Chains A and B, each alone.
Chain A
């Protein structure tokens, strides 16, 4: 009995130490992002237009001219009121395009993406400065958010539902989309809907576990795990994301939007058997340009902590592979995705 009491005490002490460690870590992130504000130059700051209940979208871009028009269009239709974007030295005119948009505030920086925690320092600063009290959507330019009923219920309906349920964060999974043939065949012009050529996905090969430290999920799978990381699946890309959060200036993302601090925000899943409401980020990475971009990214070494380990991944993508397989499924609508268990309406009717 005494032994078990001592054990419990030790557990408690460990929990406390861990919680405090995470607190320090969060504050370190906030401090870093505060410092990083010097690197950002405002190109067009329209933040005074932001209203009290507006939904904001944050993003870092680099040469995303092909995707941006549709990205903005999609999320405007969902009900995003203002976009806050950091341009990391694009060369394809993305910056000029964004600066012209009436609902975009644009900052520019030429600093290292990797040194800024893969852009998170910049974004965390913008969160801190403009996101407090708002529902904030943090995305990459190749991600399109969808959720149950997204075609008929805009984001304010979703955030209202989440608030009513007492939830401050919304969980999603990235769903890699790909064309039927080699990647280079899915040609589109800027402004086209990437979903018109990227029409296939892997319906059921996602491995899920919980990471003990921050209680965040760790989901891996999809075509990249299946084809590029079959020998070393531990390195396969993480697919879970928490992109929609009712922000407080004390929050900070840890690792892309896969996890954030404080840890309670990572609890986007039900643990007693039920389902909470969740969505998907349709990942439009595999447009033809990924083939050339991979060569560039391989040389820049800006995307992974240990970039050399991913050289073979880049090599495979540069070889213009076919991701489609006989068991791939064609994209139809959210109801099908929901029936497959890739997202859930939870109790939302």
Chain B
């Protein structure tokens, strides 16, 4: 009892001949179908190449365009030849010209001998498959598809739409329950002959001729009627990309394929000389025969599909430049933006760095230069501290910074004195945590030694800038984690907000703040605001500071300022 191979070939016929010879010389009959579109000369060469082998047959040629009936017709005819000419064959294995056996024939034979009545064919109902491309699953069986999907796409799509519009539905022959699956199967003589000699075969064939991609459904459906023991999986390792096209295996997949323990793989790149040499030789000494185990390959290819469809979040480069809102994450990781904190607290950056264990920068978007943490002039990824380079493309600046520091949270100071080009970008970035003490930028001005007229003008300008920023943060489109306090509210009770922010940054979960940052002296700040009002300018963002009732930074003078139990 033996296994016979049906091979469907259309390109790289020399490789197909090599594989056919491998099988035929190891006592496995081979029936080869050559696509009718292959030139007569090439086909004749293949025939001549294999003419010395007694157990190789060629079957009648059909044009096998992808997704059409031709492939099924070719399989049927070749399988008929196989069953007719080689009565010893018990299992028929459908393979393609770009398949490559990964394990010795004896192992396959032994495996099948152990399961003499089992049909290996992936066969699942349409509701259960997630891999159909183009949104056509059950409609494959209820619409008509006279047009080629590859060459006449417009007609194909239009005809599908038309049929949907007029609610056209084909009748599925009564006894059939549509099933789908990989087209590469291995069926027993009993099952295969029952399918080929089916009493209604003419009617069934006529029906399937207008089904879309019948090679993935013809045998898969019929096997359910005639077989007693279907093992719903393919013995051929075959992976597809997100467009439903088969992945190709190259020389560097050698180890991966070895470890998969699958019997046959497709598609192999015709120039993969190392693969063909390695797997078509007999000297492969192997450990005990194992079950096929394509798990590792499955994971690898699933990851590749994800890379192709979703990409790496926060990466912008020559082959990934997502349109706005299709980024799958605008930036590569979480980061925190602090507005006004460095004005309210002395040495806030040092304190924050200690308290949160993160990298804390100064004003990254300052007009003079980029204030990287520790005063660095060059930062991760060889980023320059030049303000001109940053402002030439601020979005790239920020996304690069976050990308270059993946796995290490970045914090930076921001305020109305900085360049504001990224307000919307950050507000709409769900990775951003933006905490604002509104009006805190007035504290340095309050302590500045300048003409009051200049200060008044500057306060008016910065207030306008920050108001704009706050409006963006409060817009319904904002996706960032935003917290806003007015300066007056914040100095009333500074520790609770700080604790919340630090907890959220949270690499040291659950730790309580023991040391408070030192608050700037705000004595006289209320009077300062009143003076501005007296000059006809209305400061609104700072909140309510009554004249003469200064907060005097009382809340931070306590030894252990704030403890929540």
Contacts and interface: CB of A to CB of B under 8 A. Distances in A.
A326 to B, nearest CB: 6
Interface string A198-231: 0000111111111000000101100101100111
B312 interface: yes
Contact of A205 (B242, B304, B323, B383): B383
Nearest to B305: A347
Contacts of B322: 270-273
B243 interface: yes
A343 B250 contact: no
Contacts of B382: 202-205, 223, 226, 325, 327-329
Interface stretch (B37-45, B49-57, B388-396, B552-560): B388-396
Interface residues of B, number: 51
Interface string B316-331: 1111111100111000
A210 B388 contact: no
Contacts of A233: 386, 388-389, 392-393
B250 A149 contact: yes
A226 to B, nearest CB: 5
B300 interface: yes
Contacts of A273: 309-311, 320, 322, 326-328
A230 B378 CA distance: 12
Interface stretch (A5-13, A66-74, A275-283): A275-283
A207 B396 contact: yes
A223 B378 CA distance: 12
A234 interface: yes
A272 B309 CA distance: 8
Nearest to A149: B252
Interface in A136-186: 149, 152-154, 156-157, 160-161, 164-165, 171-173
Contacts of A164: 245, 248
Interface in B166-219: none
Given A269-B321, A274-B310, A234 B392 contact: yes
Most central of B241, B310, B327, B381 by chain A CB within 10 Å = B381
A175 to B, nearest CB: 11
Contact of B251 (A153, A271, A346): A153
Contacts of A153: 250-252, 269
Contacts of A347: 241-242, 304-305, 307-309
A209 B392 CA distance: 11
Contacts of A276: 308, 319-320
A244 B515 CA distance: 60
Contacts of A219: 317-318
A165 B239 CA distance: 15
A173 B317 contact: yes
A344 interface: yes
Question: Interface centre among B301, B318, B319, by most A CB within 10 Å?
Answer: B318
Given A160-B248, A341-B312, A209 B301 contact: no
Nearest to A210: B321
B381 A208 contact: no
Contacts of A278: 317-319
B346 interface: no
B318 A268 contact: yes
A152 B251 contact: yes
Chain A interface bracket (under 10, 10 to 19, 20 to 34, 35 or more): 35 or more
B400 interface: yes
A276 B307 CA distance: 9
Contact of B311 (A156, A206, A275): A275
A57 to B, nearest CB: 19
Contacts of B403: 204, 341
B397 interface: yes
A305 to B, nearest CB: 20
Interface string B331-370: 0000000000000000000000000000000000000000
Q: Which residue among B307, B389, B393 has the maximum number of chain A CB atoms within 10 Å of its CB?
A: B389
A32 interface: no
A160 B317 contact: no
B380 interface: yes
A60 interface: no
Given A161-B248, A171-B319, A207-B396, A275 B389 contact: no
B247 interface: yes
A304 B326 CA distance: 37
Q: Which 3 A-B pairs have the closest CB atoms?
A: A204-B381, A347-B308, A278-B319
Interface of B: 239, 241-243, 245, 247-248, 250-252, 269, 271, 300-301, 304-305, 307-312, 315-323, 326-328, 378-384, 386, 388-389, 392-393, 396-397, 400, 403-404
Given A171-B318, A209-B396, A234-B392, 17 more contacts: A154-B271, A202-B381, A204-B381, A204-B382, A204-B400, A204-B403, A220-B393, A226-B386, A240-B318, A268-B318, A275-B312, A276-B308, A326-B378, A328-B382, A343-B319, A347-B304, A347-B307
